[in-house]
């Protein structure tokens, strides 16, 4: 690894896992839906071409890592539950079916580290810890809510598409010539 680079957790070796200690200035502006991106060769060339492959290879940007974190099921549920309300750890655990204490702890720490959740420890016995969304976390919740709304509006179309796909695959398998092993 070159001097001045740090290893990002969650990435395997190679150039994808090596990132400069500080992200380049053009990294923050390149994002989903903005029309701004960096070309495959890493040169933005002054145009507005967008290349989704950059999530994985753009040196110094942690877009893929952040997307992986905020889009996992536990983070999504925690963010949704914390929308416009403060909850204690035990309340969150009770509300998120199937999550272990350790996984909830890890999830909340990651969301806190990313500036999406605020953790407040109250100096009482026994200790009381509250969690709430930060203003940044609230903007993410709005984005998540848009995705949920889209899913609800299009779930019937998706069900029809899935059924048509399954029927087509079954028909192709049935009609395919069988070869002896």
DSSP H or E stretch at residue 154 = helix 135-175
- For the purposes of burial, counting CB atoms within 10 Å of the CB of 120, is it exposed (0-12), middle (13-18) or buried (19 or more)? exposed
Q: Read off the pLDDT of residues 105-116 as tens digits, 9 standing for 90 and up.
A: 999 999 999 999
Angle at 92 between CA 77 and CA 69, to 5 degrees: 40
Q: What is the pTM of this model?
A: 0.61
pLDDT band at 137 (very low <50, low <70, confident <90, very high): very high
Asked if pLDDT for residue 18 goes beyond 70, the answer is: no
The confidence score (pLDDT) of residue 58 equals 56
Query: Can you give the pLDDT at residue 55?
Result: 55
Tell me how far apart the alpha carbons of residues 139 and 145 are, in angstroms, rounded to a whole number. Answer: 10
pLDDT: is 49 or 38 the higher one? 49
Phi-psi region of 60 (alpha: psi -120 to 50; beta: other; left: phi over 0): left
pLDDT in tens, 79-129: 999 998 999 999 999 999 999 999 999 999 999 999 999 999 999 998 899
| DSSP H or E stretch at residue 168 | helix 135-175
């Amino acid at each position: 690894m070159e001097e001045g680079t740090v290893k990002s957790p969650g990435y395997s070796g190679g150039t994808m896992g090596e990132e400069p200690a500080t992200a380049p200035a053009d990294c923050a502006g390149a994002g989903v839906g903005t029309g701004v991106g960096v070309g495959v060769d890493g040169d933005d060339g002054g145009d507005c071409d967008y290349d989704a492959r950059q999530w994985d290879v753009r040196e110094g940007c942690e877009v893929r890592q952040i997307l992986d974190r905020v889009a996992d099921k536990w983070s999504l549920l925690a963010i949704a539950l914390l929308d416009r309300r403060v909850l204690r750890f035990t309340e969150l655990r009770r509300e998120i079916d199937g999550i272990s204490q350790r996984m909830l702890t890890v999830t909340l720490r990651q969301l806190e580290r990313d500036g999406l959740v605020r953790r407040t420890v109250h100096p009482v016995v026994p200790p009381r810890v509250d969690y709430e969304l930060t203003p940044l976390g609230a903007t993410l919740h709005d984005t998540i809510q848009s995705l949920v709304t889209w899913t609800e509006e299009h779930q019937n179309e998706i069900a029809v598409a899935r059924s048509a796909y399954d029927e087509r695959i079954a028909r192709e398998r049935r009609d395919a010539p069988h070869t002896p092993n």
